[in-house]
Amino acid sequence: MASSKSAIDTKLIRQLADMLNETDLNEIEVEEGDLRIRLARGADSYPVMQSAPMMAPTAAPAPVAAPVSAAPVEAAPAAASGPTIPSPMVGTAYLSPAPGADAFIAVGDKIKKGQTVMIVEAMKTMNQIEATQDGVVASIAVEDGQPVEFGQTLIVLG
């Protein structure tokens, strides 16, 4: 029995930890016979990242439901009638600087060019999205924690 415990060498654990970092995974689990090793990233370094996985599944049903009904599809072109602020990257949109904090902007707010209007997280980097022009927020086209694509409308100005 003592020899099977020594079979868990630190080299294997280090290799798995390196793989965890290289692939940006949050967890790796390896099982071989009676031996089971599980490595997971701690939540302390990325407190916002823990919120993203919980919010993403709640946002996923909305896009699935949207194509089924005609109303949301028609609402999108009408909402984009004014100037827009597009996403400069692919990532996850956050409307506030931290979970539970007040949103950067709300519908009806006057914004100035260069003002931070939301955050798009891409590759574990929180990127502040700034207003591209002055205006009044007519609508916010994304929900908090929603995945966004490059060029997708984030905000419509009136």
Q: Tell me which of 50 and 132 has the higher pLDDT.
A: 132
Give the C-alpha separation, 35 to 8, whole Å: 8
Residue 142: its pLDDT value, please?
95
Q: Which amino acid, residue 119?
A: I
Report how far apart, in Å, the C-alpha atoms of 106 and of each of 29, 31, 38, 92, 133 are: 42, 49, 43, 18, 16
Q: What value does the mean pLDDT take over residues 125-132?
A: 92
Residue 50: its pLDDT value, please?
36
Q: pLDDT tens digits for 53-77?
A: 444 444 444 444 444 444 343 334 4
Close Cβ partners of 111 (under 8 Å, ≥ 6 residues apart): 105, 117, 131, 134, 135, 136, 137, 157
Q: Which CATH architecture has domain 47-157?
A: Beta Barrel (2.40)
Which segment of 9-18, 54-63, 120-129 scores lowest on mean pLDDT? 54-63
Of the candidates 36, 28, 29, the one whose C-alpha atom is nearest the C-alpha of residue 7 is: 36
Q: Which amino acid, residue 54?
A: M
In the numeric block, the tokens 């003592």 are attached to 2
Residue 27: its pLDDT value, please?
76
- 23-28 contacts at long range (C-beta below 8 A, 24 or more positions apart): 24/123, 24/124
Q: Tell me which of 48 and 1 has the higher pLDDT.
A: 1
Q: At what angle do helices 61-68 and 70-79 cross, to 10 degrees?
A: 100
In the numeric block, the tokens 């599980």 are attached to 38
Q: pLDDT tens digits for 72-115?
A: 433 344 445 789 999 999 999 999 998 889 999 999 999 999 99
Of the candidates 41, 45, 17, the one whose C-alpha atom is nearest the C-alpha of residue 30 is: 17
**Chain region(s) in the chain for CATH 2.40.50.100:** 47-157
**Chain CA centroid to CA 32, Å:** 34
- Asked if pLDDT for residue 3 goes beyond 70, the answer is no
Residue 12: its pLDDT value, please?
75
Which segment of 5-9, 116-120, 124-128 scores lowest on mean pLDDT? 5-9
Residue 46: its pLDDT value, please?
39
- Asked if pLDDT for residue 21 goes beyond 50, the answer is yes
Q: What value does the mean pLDDT take over residues 118-137?
A: 92
